[in-house]
């Protein structure tokens, strides 16, 4: 169980769930041309979660000091699992993830795509060892990597099957994936900034230079609040541009995405304590889930 908590198994299950949603709720109902069979798609999911798990491990290794202050009851590395064991597991998972990426890239005839896995693996290490300690840059990087867990399905399943006859259809669905990737980027960026505010005490003790440490907790909160308005504006644009004829879809987005986004922004404006920011972070995690579940509506929207 300690290893499962170390790799953040709940977050990994969410990645698998979203990638399955893309394949089963977005591609299959419309008989979109895909490159990977289910074995290949399973290997793609496995490669993704192996590299993500490795990133979670190296992040915990470098966060031992800050976690001792911020969440002392949840520290795993150095207590339940030795640092050496954790690092060895980090290496093994990266080898498996990158190795599967190498195999998949060659199997679809897109050998250069192998570099995606190498770059993501290296970026997670650089984030944990250095960029996490810098204002905003680390938040942006990790959010890009979260968005890539959505886009990578399109890169391996849609792009290799594009022909002159199906180009319009393939690109339509790839653009839908881009919309979801942007949504995932924004929501995760806000969560990362909130977590920096929440963990400011431990980060300060570890001599990190996150945004709330660099400019102060209140200023960081208001910058995060401004950024939190971006997904709200995006949802309004999406509803008025694409969903205005579909009442069920409008109702879903208003109740399960738009309203929670507004609620989270209001709570952020009023937040003053660590528990407040922890609650807001959880709300954004739920928003992420409901945002991704909206893929189930496309069989209704595009019929």
pLDDT in tens, 6-61: 899 999 999 999 999 999 999 999 989 999 999 999 999 999 999 999 999 999 88
- Which residues, 6 or more positions from 121, have their beta carbon under 8 angstroms from its beta carbon? 51, 54, 55, 94, 97, 98
Q: How far apart are the first and last CA of the chain?
A: 44
CB 127 within 8 A of CB 55: yes
In whole angstroms, what is the distance from residue 257 CA to residue 170 CA? 27
Cα–Cα distance for residue pair 203/213, rounded to 1 Å: 8
* Domain-wise residue ranges, the chain: 2-301
Here the tokens at position 284 are 């954004």
DSSP one-letter code for 273: S
CA-based torsion, 36, 40, 46, 48: positive or negative: negative
**What are the residue ranges in the chain where pLDDT is below 70?**
302-303
Write down the pLDDT at residue 65.
Answer: 74
H helices present in the chain, as ranges: 2-6, 9-21, 38-62, 64-70, 83-107, 114-129, 137-157, 167-198, 200-205, 211-215, 217-242, 247-253, 259-270, 274-293, 298-301
Token couple for 20: 């399955």
Contacts 24+ apart (CB under 8 A), 106-111: 107/40, 108/35, 108/36, 108/40, 108/156, 108/160, 109/160, 110/156, 110/159, 110/160
Q: Whole-angstrom Cα distance, residue 268 to residue 262? A: 10
Q: What is the pTM of this model?
A: 0.94
pLDDT score, position 303: 61
Beta carbons of 148 and 196 less than 8 angstroms apart? no
């Amino acid at each position: 169980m300690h290893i499962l908590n170390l790799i953040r198994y709940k977050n990994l299950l969410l990645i698998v769930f979203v990638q399955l949603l893309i394949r089963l709720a977005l591609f299959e109902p419309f008989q979109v041309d895909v490159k990977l069979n289910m074995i290949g798609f399973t290997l793609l999911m496995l490669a993704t979660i192996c590299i993500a798990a490795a990133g979670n491990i190296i992040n915990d290794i470098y966060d031992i000091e800050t976690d001792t202050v911020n969440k002392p009851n949840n520290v795993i590395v150095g207590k339940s699992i030795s640092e050496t064991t954790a690092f060895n597991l980090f290496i093994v998972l990266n080898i498996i993830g990158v190795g599967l990426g190498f195999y998949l890239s060659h199997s679809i005839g897109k050998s250069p795509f192998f570099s995606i896995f190498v770059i993501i693996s290296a970026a997670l290490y650089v984030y944990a060892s250095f960029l996490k300690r810098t204002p905003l840059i680390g938040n942006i990087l990790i959010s890009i990597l979260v968005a890539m867990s959505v886009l990578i399905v399109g890169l391996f399943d849609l792009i290799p099957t594009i022909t002159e006859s199906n180009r319009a259809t393939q690109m339509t669905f790839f653009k839908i994936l881009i919309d979801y990737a942007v949504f995932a980027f924004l929501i995760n960026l806000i969560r990362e900034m909130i977590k920096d505010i929440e963990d400011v005490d431990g980060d300060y003790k570890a001599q990190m230079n996150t945004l709330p440490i660099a400019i102060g907790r209140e200023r960081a909160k208001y910058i995060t609040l401004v950024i939190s308005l971006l997904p709200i504006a995006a949802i309004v644009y999406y509803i008025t541009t694409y969903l205005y004829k579909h009442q069920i879809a409008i109702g879903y987005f208003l109740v399960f995405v738009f309203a929670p986004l507004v609620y989270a922004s209001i709570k952020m404006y009023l937040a003053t304590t660590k528990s407040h920011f922890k609650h807001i972070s959880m709300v954004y995690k739920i928003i992420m889930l409901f945002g991704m579940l909206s893929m189930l509506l496309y069989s209704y929207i595009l019929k």
